């Protein structure tokens, strides 16, 4: 995948999210596991992908499941054979990050779902199912990949939880590309004003809670 300018990545999100949704449908159909109340789902990732996991944890709590955000490299510090969750979502946009790959190899077979923009990358060899992001070009800071990962979480919640099964409200993946398009249109005028306001800033604090904590962590 080639790197594209940040502004191009931002503006192309709705189109690429629709592309991502189209590729997820057959992948979701092949996942036999279900996430049941009382079980724990672990997000295993590094960097910005770890921050994205905060959004999934909040949604899992609303669905009555436990969630844990696991920095992939920290699994090396745990006792051999220890399983911190019942199910795992292993995230790496490139599919090449060594830490998530090494961690996935130690996790429970049959319970590992990988999220990546490159399904043929090495990550696919150490998970049981791959949920593709879409194979799109992205900015150097994975702009589309971040929102596409959030979309993938929504699709998993809708497909694998009792709260999301057959519903079109709580985890409505189909609406997300449209919502992103609406947000981009709404804030197109605010962006330049914010940039002008921040031009002389030496530091910027990002603050959030719940779902917003994911974006606050990704912000810096």
CB 34 within 8 A of CB 78: no
pLDDT at 23 over 70: yes
d(CA 37, CA 32): 17
Q: Is residue 177 within 8 Å of residue 14, measured between CB atoms? A: yes
pLDDT of residue 70: 94
Name the residue ranges covered by the structural domains of the chain. Answer: 6-195
Residue range 74-88, pLDDT digits in tens: 998 999 899 999 999
29-49 average pLDDT score: 91
Q: Which of 103-112, 135-144, 188-197, 205-214 has the lowest mean pLDDT?
A: 188-197
> Alpha-carbon distance 41 to 57, whole Å?
8
Looking at the predicted structure, is the pLDDT value of residue 5 above 60?
A: yes
**Neighbouring C-beta atoms of residue 15, cutoff 10 Å:** 15
Cα 105 to Cα 21: distance, rounded to the nearest angstrom: 27
Residue 168's pLDDT band (boundaries 50, 70, 90)? very low
Task: State the pLDDT at residue 213.
Answer: 86
In this predicted structure, the answer to whether residue 111 has a pLDDT above a threshold of 90 is yes
Q: How confident is the model at residue 171 (pLDDT cuts 50, 70, 90)?
A: low
Asked if residues 40 and 87 have their Cβ atoms less than 8 Å apart, the reply is yes
- Look up the CATH architecture of domain 6-195: 3-Layer(aba) Sandwich (3.40)
Tell me how far apart the alpha carbons of residues 56 and 189 are, in angstroms, rounded to a whole number: 30
Residue from 158, 142, 156, 171 nearest 46 by CA: 142
Euclidean distance between CA atoms 13 and 177, whole angstroms: 8
**Per-residue confidence (pLDDT) for residue 198, from 0 to 100:** 86
Could you count the other beta carbons within 10 Å of the beta carbon of residue 199?
A: 7
- What is the rounded CA–CA span in Å between residue 199 and residue 102? 41
Distance from chain centroid for Cα 165? 20
* Span 44-52, average pLDDT: 91
Mean pLDDT (the chain, rounded): 89
* 194-220 average pLDDT score: 84
Radius of gyration (Cα) for the chain, nearest Å? 17
Cα distance between residue 118 and residue 116, in whole Å: 5
**How confident is the model over 182-192, as pLDDT tens digits?**
999 888 788 78
Mention every residue, 6+ apart, whose C-beta is less than 8 A from residue 16: 134, 136, 144, 148
User: How confident is the model over 117-154, as pLDDT tens digits?
Assistant: 998 899 999 999 999 999 999 998 889 999 999 999 99
């Amino acid at each position: 995948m080639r790197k594209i300018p940040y502004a191009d990545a931002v503006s192309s999100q709705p189109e690429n999210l629709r592309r991502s949704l189209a590729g997820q449908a057959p992948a979701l159909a092949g996942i036999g596991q279900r996430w049941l109340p009382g079980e724990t789902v672990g997000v295993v990732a590094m960097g910005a992908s770890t921050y994205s996991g905060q959004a999934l944890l909040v949604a899992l709590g609303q669905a009555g499941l436990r969630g844990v955000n696991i920095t992939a490299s920290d699994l090396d510090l745990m006792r051999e054979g220890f399983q911190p969750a019942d199910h795992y979502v292993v995230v790496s946009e490139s599919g090449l990050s060594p830490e998530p790959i090494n961690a996935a190899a130690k996790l429970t077979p049959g319970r590992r779902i990988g999220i990546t923009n490159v399904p043929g990358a090495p990550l696919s060899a150490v998970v049981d199912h791959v949920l593709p992001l879409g194979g799109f070009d992205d900015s150097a800071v994975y702009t589309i990949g971040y929102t596409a990962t959030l979309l993938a979480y929504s699709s998993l919640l809708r497909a694998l939880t009792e709260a999301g099964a057959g519903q079109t409200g709580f985890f409505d993946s189909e609406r997300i590309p449209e919502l992103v398009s609406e947000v981009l249109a709404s804030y197109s005028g605010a962006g330049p004003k914010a940039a002008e306001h921040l031009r002389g800033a030496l530091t910027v604090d990002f603050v959030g809670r719940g779902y917003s904590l994911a974006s606050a962590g990704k912000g810096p």
